[in-house]
Amino acid sequence: MTAAAPELTTAPPREADSGHLRLDALTKRFTGRSGTVTAVDRVSLDVEPGEFITLLGPSGCGKTTTLRMVAGFEDSSSGSILLDGRAIDGIPPQRRPMAMVFQSYALFPHMTVAENIAYGMRLQRRTRDDIATSMRMAVTSMNLVGLEDRSPHELSGGQQQRVALARALVVQPKVLLFDEPLSNLDAKLRDAMRAEIRRIQKMFGITSIYVTHDQDEAMSMSDRIVVMNKGRVEQAAAPGEIYARPASVFVADFIGRANFLEAVPERVGGSGVTVTVLGRQLTVAAHPKVTAGATGAYLMVRPETVRLSAVTDAGTGMGVVLRSTFHGPTIDYEVETTGGTITVTEPGVDPREALAEGTNVDVSLDPERAYLLTQD
């Protein structure tokens, strides 16, 4: 990928309250031969102007259907969509002040880069000078200078995606929608494009909704992540909160990697909940639904928060190393403990210095970074 474009000092003016999107009990049902399926179930969400929201979840969770209803490509079964306080449910897609960046780029193959970018502005019947000004800004901000006369098939995947993003931005939408736009790119280019999309979105201050199944993408780009499951919102929060304080076992398991150690809450107090795990008593933060003595509680422990130390005397440790996997920057261990098999991630070392399989180890948990959840 070529060098990043210089920051621009100007961007299209935008009202401070423009792009305030609200979903109110939005629901979508599909009826077929096998009956009625609820794809989106009473989803409510308040998206602030300029906010970058990511809808994240497994296939079939309802995230793409939600995005399509916002765009106007699907009609809702019930509920409402409001933009700046105005209901837009009955407005067709082409009349909604929104633009979408598709997974397939959707560029016109018979048009040049410049013609693709200008297409939406011509439909808006903007003046030639206005189109030229917006074109210069888009081409510069997207690092497409010198490519204006090329056809889409002469561009790389990353360049095609930047053209698609430029075409969406120049129509000055109040809301920008992304439908898994980076899934066709290789891993290295995907990382670069994440940063590029976020930079451009911040510069223009456009309210954005981004759909992906890629957790790293959601964590690195979003102001808030909306985790969906079976058509419902499991949690909507900042990436750090979702990672450290998930609202459910599903969220904890879906975002990143997690160990779940069965535990019985012994005492609940202002400083946290006391549990005994792997033979040690810990005081940890807990979900508000956790009560003393409750069954079906699990201590969520992220692999990178666990530390291992070798024990020389056989049978005196808390666990045994079953397997070690060297990844370069990190090394993963599978450790059999009295609470079950757990995964531990430690900073990479010389692979010759890694703990060997069969090593007896002590297992140290960080109570400040553990979180107690109930199964439901």
Same domain? For 92 and 214 the reply is yes
| The Cα angle at residue 49 between residues 72 and 230, in degrees rounded to 5 | 50
CATH number where 302 lies: 2.40.50.140
- Answer whether residue 15 is part of any domain: no
> β-strand 370-374 against 98-101: which pairing, if any?
unpaired
Provide the residue range defining the domain that includes 348: 271-374
Q: Which residues pair with 192 in a beta bridge?
A: none
Residue at token pair 């069965």: 262
Same domain? For 41 and 181 the reply is yes
Same domain? For 175 and 282 the reply is no
- Answer whether residue 11 is part of any domain: no
Res. 16: pLDDT tops 80: no
Same domain? For 166 and 280 the reply is no
Rounded CA-CA distance 27/79 in Å is: 6
Least confident of 182-191, 215-224, 237-246: 182-191
Binned at pLDDT 50, 70 and 90, residue 79 comes out as: very high
Rounded CA-CA distance 138/257 in Å is: 39
Q: What is the pTM of this model?
A: 0.87
pLDDT tens column, 96-143 = 999 988 877 788 899 999 888 988 888 888 888 888 888 888 888 788
CATH number where 64 lies: 3.40.50.300
pLDDT tens column, 261-296 = 999 999 888 789 999 999 899 999 999 989 888 788
Same domain? For 123 and 51 the reply is yes
Q: Are the beta carbons of 293 and 264 closer than 8 angstroms? A: yes
Same domain? For 240 and 285 the reply is no
Binned at pLDDT 50, 70 and 90, residue 13 comes out as: low
- Answer whether residue 230 is part of any domain: yes
Same domain? For 45 and 186 the reply is yes
So what's the pLDDT on residue 123?
84
Rounded CA-CA distance 143/146 in Å is: 9
Continuous segment of H or E residues that includes residue 191: helix 187-204
Binned at pLDDT 50, 70 and 90, residue 317 comes out as: low
pLDDT tens column, 154-190 = 988 888 888 888 888 888 899 999 998 888 777 777 8
Per the structure, how many domains does the chain have? 2
Same domain? For 286 and 195 the reply is no
Same domain? For 61 and 203 the reply is yes
Binned at pLDDT 50, 70 and 90, residue 376 comes out as: low
pLDDT tens column, 293-306 = 878 899 999 999 99
Same domain? For 304 and 240 the reply is no
So what's the pLDDT on residue 196?
83
Q: Are the beta carbons of 283 and 274 closer than 8 angstroms? A: yes
So what's the pLDDT on residue 9?
39
Answer left, alpha or beta for residue 230, where phi above 0 means left and psi between -120 and 50 means alpha. left
So what's the pLDDT on residue 12?
53
Same domain? For 240 and 278 the reply is no
